[in-house]
Chain A
């Protein structure tokens, strides 16, 4: 950031919107964990979101609301999240990075930057979360499917501020299961699978499957979900659904694993997590 000239710390969201829009070349700063790998010549100002009051996790009649600067540790320790859909998001947050990093990585940064440690997007897809974005024109709400359809940077302008993640009401009592498959303990996901499930007896009423880290953007598997709804969830169906997911997620190579291997993992992890969600 050799051309950085200004640093702003607004005290409210309104002020932040004003500051980020005031001049071109300004960028947002949240947890700061992406800063060391950002070497932008075009950034001339930073607007720090730390003091604008977005670090909340609150219960609302419409939704659970997670402020964009809430850190992973807060998500992990939130009893609201621990009791929402089998505690999926709290479990996911607990596996992002390490203790000191979880004190720094923010929810907004994790979903916006989509880096190797971005474990939140796939489960947010599975939870049908909504992402709130504010700019000078006002607030826009994006369903997770749209937000993560491509890299969020293609959706957002420099002046857009991701302010909040909303988790919908009505699925609190769903069960869930999550696996982050790593090459080495405590490292980045080769592939992750999140399953959110609602059962009546042995029959699936509702299900969502999110796959992370296997492809450039996180993926839902609507084909697999359709196969499951109103069907009896047993081992052979779980296996079949795993195969469907495998066929429908376009995996790519990176240093953590080949696309081939990730496809294989998707198949196995979808099966495993479906069965686990069923019994949890």
Chain B
């Protein structure tokens, strides 16, 4: 919408408006869920499984219940509430068996957090420990050791997913395009490799936290740190069989999400505790350790890729098999599987493509949405593989990518036709390459090499991602004019730091012609007051809600014009407006102010017309379809955001140490609504991607115990890890159905960064890496692979 508006005609869009959500955060006054204190509020603590797989023989809660000040102790056998976004496979508390280390088996609500902790220690659980299934590739073969023997009985979203009862496969997504075997025959070289990724934690700085009050007549109030208030409400209603009018979800400030809070987390357990505690509010706040093991993480992936390439550099066939280790529950992992399947080839055109993507249950903490939604993981292997292919035919890897890049007229692996306005991945690559002086070392870099003895190399990777969402995803926005002509706006995205609310404020301001200061977009979510949104996920918020805001602004103006046309006795087509008033175009002195119209116009005689001016806009994703279950053909993508990373890396060939000297990344955002905030969001994503690349991931022992559920042993990047030079570059190929041509870029900075760094390390030192993260030791190990040395025992896997 309005994608062809030139920048010189825009007053607020494309400018550096200050963020709308900062002042309270800077002074410590912003209230997050964990800051809430309610009368009579109790504090919860969770008894977690020390085993990865065990039968629960008995739980003795009597000692815990006897402690004065303990108001509720709950175990799984009391409830038959099942939860699941797409596949309903999870109990609020484990019943009969535990499926992962850290799973909740019982919980307590007490007068203080310390008392709740003490009570949890008094709960005695009798387990019958079983041998866990920890390796996805073994689990897919092992029909005897099922994580969910009941899979056949579970409800699931049939149009999109295909569980395989009697196995550990929660979903199998297939994509078939052309004839892959024929393609391999036409190829001059066929190369097959396997690339792997571990579980990774999102690490929002605010852990999951909710306060629930299950009041009389089954009225359930929930305050929670979540990304998607309406999804939380809906899942609570479904699980507890409550009418939607009974459940009220409020979302105060949220301290980061990154997908970890996309679905439902600690809310149901807090609600159950409150119910048992006679409706007293119960706060359940995850510790950092619980964030790692009780709550979900990013799924592990084994990505097998077999590619056929010609001597001329054409990718002619590609067979991709994805083994997604979803851990104990399906959660978002089934949809990560689906989304990564239809994106599996990256931003490249493959005439003959074949994808099998499996979601596999294992006895590990379960996987959920994580910024990038599968693309960070498979892009690691894919982008390493692209360089391997280029090397095989002795072609420059950047040229190889450009030759095979999706461009207008290309057909994706699901049969979607790429057009001019889809975006320009080739340009992204060119810009990123130029920013790092790709193909040569600068004199400074040569000098640095001599001084440090480390080897410098460069690499460029490319990426794409579309929102992964139901084909019929919709949203709405509501604008209400106040007495002074200012606007209160409501919608149900969650602003958890990404900056969408600032961009939407700019869009509303632009569309109304009012300064942004006059728009008050409520930061807090409230399912009783604000209109529906599906979820704050998938980098779809700006596009979808931006369109809804444009439509709401137009609706509001239409109402105002209607009333003004009566007051001014003129046809609305003869009216125009400025910031303050609506006037007759050819008699501008005849006007009525917005303030006069805002809540109903009163004539001097006292008679009134009109009424409160309210604008409503709703937007439905356009043109998406289900994918054929056998071929995967269809239209999955609201929009594709393309991008590219250029990296400069130096490597010590002896110790494997490496430094990332420069990252320059370009994204085709369609239209930069707020360039400064995009830069913040892009660099934030790059550093999160850097964490995934250099250090983050879960390490387990042979029994499936998580070894590093803390910041002590699972570091995230600090200020010391930021590359000296880091740059986010914006390219603007307008998206026709995007607001002012914009498309989302929330997740993309993380994607394919690891591949670029892995490739640069390969060029610098020859370390051929297939597993991420890449720690110094992994580089060293890759350089000495042939010395018959075991992989590091505590490696992140």
A adjacent to B, CB under 8 Å = yes
Q: Is the CB of B699 within 8 A of A261?
A: no
Q: Is the interface of B mostly helix, strand, loop or mixed?
A: loop
Considering the chains assembled together, what is the distance between the CA atoms of A172 and B530 in angstroms? 71
Considering the chains assembled together, what is the distance between the CA atoms of A186 and B721 in angstroms? 8
A200 contacts the other chain (CB 8 A) = no
| A184 in complex: contacting residue of B121, B695, B699, B789, CB < 8 Å | B695
The residue on A at minimum CB distance from B694 is: A184
Q: Is the CB of A183 within 8 A of B794?
A: no
Stretch of A6-14, A79-87, A243-251, A252-260 lying at the B interface: A252-260
| A258 in complex: contacting residue of B654, B717, B720, B793, CB < 8 Å | B793
CB distance from A174 to the nearest CB of B (A): 27
A196 contacts the other chain (CB 8 A) = no
A265 contacts the other chain (CB 8 A) = yes
Residues of B669-703 contacting chain A, CB below 8 A: 694-695, 699
Q: Is the CB of B707 within 8 A of A255?
A: yes
Q: Is the CB of A268 within 8 A of B695?
A: no
Given A116-B712, A257-B777, A257-B792, residue A186 in contact with residue B655 (CB < 8 A): no
Contact digits for B708-741, partner A, Cβ 8 Å, 1 yes 0 no: 1000110101101100000000000000000000
| B655 in complex: contacting residue of A2, A184, A268, CB < 8 Å | A268
Contact digits for A188-205, partner B, Cβ 8 Å, 1 yes 0 no: 101000000000000000
Residues of B648-663 contacting chain A, CB below 8 A: 654-655, 657
Q: Is the CB of A2 within 8 A of B118?
A: yes
Q: Is the CB of A253 within 8 A of B777?
A: no
Which residues of chain B come closer than 8 Å to A255, judged between CB atoms?
A: 699, 707-708, 713, 794
Residues of A170-226 contacting chain B, CB below 8 A: 181, 183-188, 190
A23 contacts the other chain (CB 8 A) = no
B781 contacts the other chain (CB 8 A) = yes
A150 contacts the other chain (CB 8 A) = no
CB distance from A85 to the nearest CB of B (A): 26
Q: Is the CB of A183 within 8 A of B655?
A: no
A169 contacts the other chain (CB 8 A) = no
The residue on B at minimum CB distance from A183 is: B775
CB distance from A143 to the nearest CB of B (A): 31
B580 contacts the other chain (CB 8 A) = no
B780 contacts the other chain (CB 8 A) = yes
CB distance from A99 to the nearest CB of B (A): 11
The residue on B at minimum CB distance from A37 is: B712
Which residues of chain B come closer than 8 Å to A190, judged between CB atoms?
A: 776-777
Considering the chains assembled together, what is the distance between the CA atoms of A186 and B655 in angstroms? 18
Q: Is the CB of B655 within 8 A of A265?
A: yes
The residue on A at minimum CB distance from B659 is: A185
A146 contacts the other chain (CB 8 A) = no
The residue on A at minimum CB distance from B713 is: A255
Q: Is the CB of A253 within 8 A of B793?
A: yes
Q: Is the CB of A261 within 8 A of B780?
A: yes
Which residues of chain B come closer than 8 Å to A264, judged between CB atoms?
A: 655, 780
CB distance from A251 to the nearest CB of B (A): 12
Contact digits for A16-36, partner B, Cβ 8 Å, 1 yes 0 no: 000000000000000000000
The residue on A at minimum CB distance from B699 is: A255
The residue on A at minimum CB distance from B114 is: A2
Q: Is the CB of A184 within 8 A of B792?
A: no
Residues of B399-436 contacting chain A, CB below 8 A: none
Q: Is the CB of B721 within 8 A of A185?
A: yes
Residues of B759-797 contacting chain A, CB below 8 A: 775-777, 780-781, 789, 792-794
Q: Is the CB of B720 within 8 A of A185?
A: yes
Considering the chains assembled together, what is the distance between the CA atoms of A183 and B715 in angstroms? 9
Given A183-B695, A264-B655, residue A253 in contact with residue B718 (CB < 8 A): no
Contact digits for A75-96, partner B, Cβ 8 Å, 1 yes 0 no: 0000000000000000000000
Residues of B519-556 contacting chain A, CB below 8 A: none
Considering the chains assembled together, what is the distance between the CA atoms of A202 and B720 in angstroms? 37
| B781 in complex: contacting residue of A2, A183, A256, A261, CB < 8 Å | A261
Q: Is the CB of A261 within 8 A of B777?
A: yes
Considering the chains assembled together, what is the distance between the CA atoms of A181 and B777 in angstroms? 11
Q: Is the CB of B794 within 8 A of A253?
A: yes
Q: Is the CB of A183 within 8 A of B712?
A: no
Q: Is the CB of A187 within 8 A of B789?
A: no
Residues of B115-132 contacting chain A, CB below 8 A: 118, 121
Q: Is the CB of B792 within 8 A of A261?
A: yes
Which residues of chain A come closer than 8 Å to B715, judged between CB atoms?
A: 183-184, 187
Question: Which of B118, B694, B712 gathers most chain A CB within 10 Å?
Answer: B712
Given A253-B793, A268-B654, residue A186 in contact with residue B777 (CB < 8 A): no
Contact digits for A251-280, partner B, Cβ 8 Å, 1 yes 0 no: 001111110110011001000000000000
The residue on B at minimum CB distance from A262 is: B777
The residue on A at minimum CB distance from B721 is: A185
The residue on A at minimum CB distance from B791 is: A258
The residue on A at minimum CB distance from B655 is: A268
Considering the chains assembled together, what is the distance between the CA atoms of A66 and B373 in angstroms? 53
Considering the chains assembled together, what is the distance between the CA atoms of A253 and B790 in angstroms? 12
CB distance from B174 to the nearest CB of A (A): 38
CB distance from A259 to the nearest CB of B (A): 9
CB distance from B115 to the nearest CB of A (A): 10
Given A184-B694, A264-B655, residue A258 in contact with residue B721 (CB < 8 A): no
Which residues of chain B come closer than 8 Å to A188, judged between CB atoms?
A: 712
Considering the chains assembled together, what is the distance between the CA atoms of A270 and B342 in angstroms? 52
CB distance from B726 to the nearest CB of A (A): 15
CB distance from B3 to the nearest CB of A (A): 42
Contact digits for A31-50, partner B, Cβ 8 Å, 1 yes 0 no: 00000000000000000000
Q: Is the CB of A253 within 8 A of B712?
A: no
Which residues of chain A come closer than 8 Å to B789, judged between CB atoms?
A: 260
Which residues of chain A come closer than 8 Å to B775, judged between CB atoms?
A: 183
Considering the chains assembled together, what is the distance between the CA atoms of A255 and B695 in angstroms? 11
Considering the chains assembled together, what is the distance between the CA atoms of A274 and B233 in angstroms? 64
Which residues of chain B come closer than 8 Å to A116, judged between CB atoms?
A: 712
Which residues of chain B come closer than 8 Å to A256, judged between CB atoms?
A: 713
Given A261-B777, A268-B655, residue A186 in contact with residue B794 (CB < 8 A): no
Q: Is the CB of B794 within 8 A of A254?
A: yes
The residue on B at minimum CB distance from A265 is: B655
CB distance from B45 to the nearest CB of A (A): 13
Q: Is the CB of A185 within 8 A of B718?
A: yes
Considering the chains assembled together, what is the distance between the CA atoms of A256 and B708 in angstroms? 10
Given A254-B794, A258-B792, residue A184 in contact with residue B708 (CB < 8 A): no
Q: Is the CB of B792 within 8 A of A186?
A: no
Q: Is the CB of A186 within 8 A of B720?
A: yes
CB distance from B695 to the nearest CB of A (A): 5
Contact digits for B622-639, partner A, Cβ 8 Å, 1 yes 0 no: 000000000000000000
CB distance from A80 to the nearest CB of B (A): 28
CB distance from B201 to the nearest CB of A (A): 14
Q: Is the CB of A184 within 8 A of B721?
A: yes
Q: Is the CB of B776 within 8 A of A183?
A: yes
Which residues of chain B come closer than 8 Å to A261, judged between CB atoms?
A: 777, 780-781, 792
Which residues of chain B come closer than 8 Å to A253, judged between CB atoms?
A: 792-794
CB distance from A26 to the nearest CB of B (A): 21
Considering the chains assembled together, what is the distance between the CA atoms of A214 and B718 in angstroms? 24
CB distance from A268 to the nearest CB of B (A): 6
Which residues of chain A come closer than 8 Å to B712, judged between CB atoms?
A: 116, 188
The residue on A at minimum CB distance from B716 is: A184
CB distance from B293 to the nearest CB of A (A): 15
Q: Is the CB of A186 within 8 A of B654?
A: no
Residues of A151-177 contacting chain B, CB below 8 A: none
The 10 closest A-B pairs by CB, nearest first: A185-B720, A258-B792, A186-B720, A261-B777, A184-B695, A184-B715, A253-B793, A255-B794, A255-B713, A187-B715
Given contacts A185-B721, A190-B777, 11 further A-B contacts (CB under 8 A): A181-B655, A183-B775, A183-B776, A183-B777, A184-B695, A184-B718, A186-B721, A254-B794, A255-B707, A258-B792, A268-B654
25 A–B contacts from the bound complex (CB under 8 Å): A2-B118, A2-B121, A116-B712, A183-B695, A183-B715, A183-B776, A183-B777, A184-B694, A184-B695, A184-B715, A185-B718, A185-B720, A185-B721, A188-B712, A190-B777, A253-B792, A253-B794, A254-B794, A255-B699, A255-B708, A255-B794, A256-B713, A258-B794, A260-B789, A265-B655
